[in-house]
Amino acid sequence: MQRFTGRVAVVTGAASGLGAALARRLAAEGMAVALADIDLQGAREVAAGLRQNGRNARAFAVDVGEPASIAALAESVADELGTCALLCPNVGVQQFGPVERLSLDEWRWVFGVNVFGAVACVNAFLPQLRAGEEAHVLFTSSTGALHVSPRVGVYNASKSALLSYAETLRLELAEEGIGVSALIPGGMYTTHLQSSAAAKPAGLEAPAFTDEDVAFVGRDMSGEPMVEPDHAIRNLIPALRADEPYIVTHPAFRELIEARFSALRRALDRAGD
C-alpha cells in the first residue's frame, strides 16, 4: 500500500495494547480509523484521544467470535466512515494450560476468535478491499507460531494456523493487488491475559490463566524481551509500503526461530537426495 492519507483502516482489538498502537500509528499516517472491540467503552476512549489530536477515528462494537457481529461491523464502517482499504484483524485471546488438559470447547474458543474470527473479518471486508485502487490485510500472529513453549500450546497452534492462512491468502490475493502481511510480535506490555479472561465465554471450564501457569510460562520465557506495543510496530509503515510478508517486532528471537529452521535443514540433510 502506498497511499494512506484519507483512506479507511479497520483495527479489531483496538481498545488497548497492540490494536490501540496500530490505530494511533495509522491515524498519524492520515488514515480514518475504525476502532473495533468487544470493549466498546475502551475503544471509545482511544478514539476520543485520537480525535482530540485532530485525527479521524470512530469506535465500533464487535465480537470477532461471532460472524454476524463482524458482518454488521463491515456494514457500519462502510456507512459511517467509508470503504475499508487496510484491514487489521488483530484480536487474539490467550488460554494457558497443558494442551491435553484443555477441553475441546477451550480449543474451539481460542481458534474461534484467533483463526475463524480473522477469516470472518476477511470474508466480510473483502468486497470493500476489492473496491478501492489498492488495499492491504495485516494479521497479528505471534513469535509463538515459530517457536513454541509449554502451556501456551492452544494459543501457539492458533497463531501458527493464522500465519499459514495469511501466507496462503497473500498468494491468492496477489493478482488483485491486495497485499497481505503478518505481524509477528514477541512479548509486549499489554493487558492480554486480563482481556482474554474478560472475553472468555461463560461456561468454559479452565480459567484463561492461573498464577501457577503465569509463573511457569514466565520462567520459560524469562530470557525473552518485553517491549511497548508502540515500539513493536516502529517499522510498520515502511513494511506495509514494501508489501513485506512478515513484520517481526523482536530481533532477539533470531536464535530461537533459526533453531527451528536448522532442525528442519538437518531433517532435509538426513532425507538425502
Ligand X SMILES: NC(=O)c1ccc[n+]([C@@H]2O[C@H](COP(=O)([O-])OP(=O)(O)OC[C@H]3O[C@@H](n4cnc5c(N)ncnc54)[C@H](O)[C@@H]3O)[C@@H](O)[C@H]2O)c1
Give the residues lining the site for ligand X (CB under 6 A). 12-13, 15-19, 37-39, 42, 62-65, 90-93, 113, 140, 142, 185, 187-188, 190-192, 195, 199, 229
**CA pseudo-torsion sign 159, 247, 196, 70:** negative
- CB of 66: closest distance to ligand X in angstroms? 8
Closer to ligand X by Cβ: residue 18 or 33: 18
- CB of 180: closest distance to ligand X in angstroms? 16
- CB of 94: closest distance to ligand X in angstroms? 6
**Residue 108: CB atoms within 10 Å:** 15
Under 8 Å CB-to-CB from 110, ≥6 apart: which residues? Answer: 93, 95, 154, 155, 158
Active site residue 246: no
Under 8 Å CB-to-CB from 220, ≥6 apart: which residues? Answer: 149, 150, 151
Q: What would the grid cell of residue 6 be? A: 484519507
Closer to ligand X by Cβ: residue 66 or 134: 66
Under 8 Å CB-to-CB from 135, ≥6 apart: which residues? Answer: 1, 84, 85, 86, 87, 129, 177, 178, 179
- CB of 177: closest distance to ligand X in angstroms? 26
Under 8 Å CB-to-CB from 154, ≥6 apart: which residues? Answer: 95, 97, 99, 102, 106, 107, 110, 111
| Catalytic residue selected from 155, 165, 189, 246 | 155
Place of cell 481458534: 111
Closer to ligand X by Cβ: residue 31 or 91: 91
Pair 96, 218: CB distance under 8 Å: no
Closer to ligand X by Cβ: residue 89 or 179: 89
- CB of 160: closest distance to ligand X in angstroms? 12
Question: Which residues partner with 60 through β-bridges?
Answer: 36
- CB of 181: closest distance to ligand X in angstroms? 14
DSSP state letters, 44-109: HHHHHHHHHTT--EEEEE--TT-HHHHHHHHHHHHHHT--EEEEE--------S-GGGS-HHHHHH
Closer to ligand X by Cβ: residue 29 or 63: 63
Closer to ligand X by Cβ: residue 62 or 236: 62
Residue numbers annotated as active site = 155
